[in-house]
Amino acid sequence: MTNKNNDVGNRRPLKVRSARFATNFTRWLSQKNITPNQISVMSVLFACLSAACLFLLPRFSGILSLVLAIMAALFIQGRLLCNLFDGMVAVEGGKSTAAGELFNDIPDRIADPLIIVAAGYAISGVPWASTLAWFTAILAVMTAYVRTLAASIGAPTNFTGPMAKQHRMAILTVACCVTAVESYLWHSSYSLLVALIFIATGCIITLFRRTISAYTFLENNK
């Protein structure tokens, strides 16, 4: 993250930053030869692992499908933990870099589509599931695009939901856990389909809210 992001107003508001485990682990990471940029790149690795589990899910049944779905959920959480600690090590740990904003943003734009698109291909028996997944992935990237565009032209940084990054990943994590049971018992994965529909709908609302908020601010302060 950049020095500019030391300003709390430019950071995604997360209560977990004040949790004891987060502050203690941040302190430990900050004492190691680990940079925030490396942690950011690691989030893409976790996203790739989650996507791989989801892509493999329809090819297995029984206990293997259950394990793959649970692993996909765990890797999603690993990705989110990287997103948490890269910023905390940069700001609270005092290890921010000039190019940090690139590493703070670009990995997210890769990780989100990887996981969302893979979720679509994990759904068997629904021919249009992959199309829905690609559409949802585009919407997810657009929510970030509108946020960064608005901030670049003078509007406040806006992390408004209802389908910001942490909300999308929370829904997919829950869907993967439910899918673990669903695939084991009934050899289906409709939970992921419901999750994608929910995320796509929420992203559309989020895009509308962020766009209107930026428009209103810019028009009232020109």
> What is the reported pLDDT for 5?
39
Task: Please give the pLDDT value at position 26.
Answer: 87
Reference 119, options 169, 55, 48, 58; nearest CA is 55
Residues ≥6 apart with Cβ < 8 Å to 208:
none
Check: pTM over 0.85? Answer yes or no.
Answer: yes
Mean pLDDT, residues 177-197 taken together? 95
Among 177, 176, 165, 173, smallest CA distance to 202 is for 165
pLDDT at 4 over 70: no
- For 125: left if phi > 0, alpha if psi spans -120 to 50, otherwise beta; the answer is left
Whole-number pLDDT of residue 1: 41
- Separation of alpha carbons 131 and 129, rounded Å: 5
Q: What digits encode the pLDDT tens for the residues 82-130?
A: 999 998 898 888 888 888 788 889 999 999 999 999 999 999 999 999 9
How high does pLDDT run on average in the chain? 91
Domains and CATH numbers, the chain: 3-220 (1.20.120.1760)
Number of other residues whose CB lies within 10 A of the CB of residue 4: 11
- For residue 128, the model assigns a pLDDT of 97
Token pair of 121 as six digits: 């291909």
CB atoms under 10 Å from CB of 222, counted, come to: 6
Q: What angle do CA 104, 107, 112 make, to 5 degrees?
A: 120
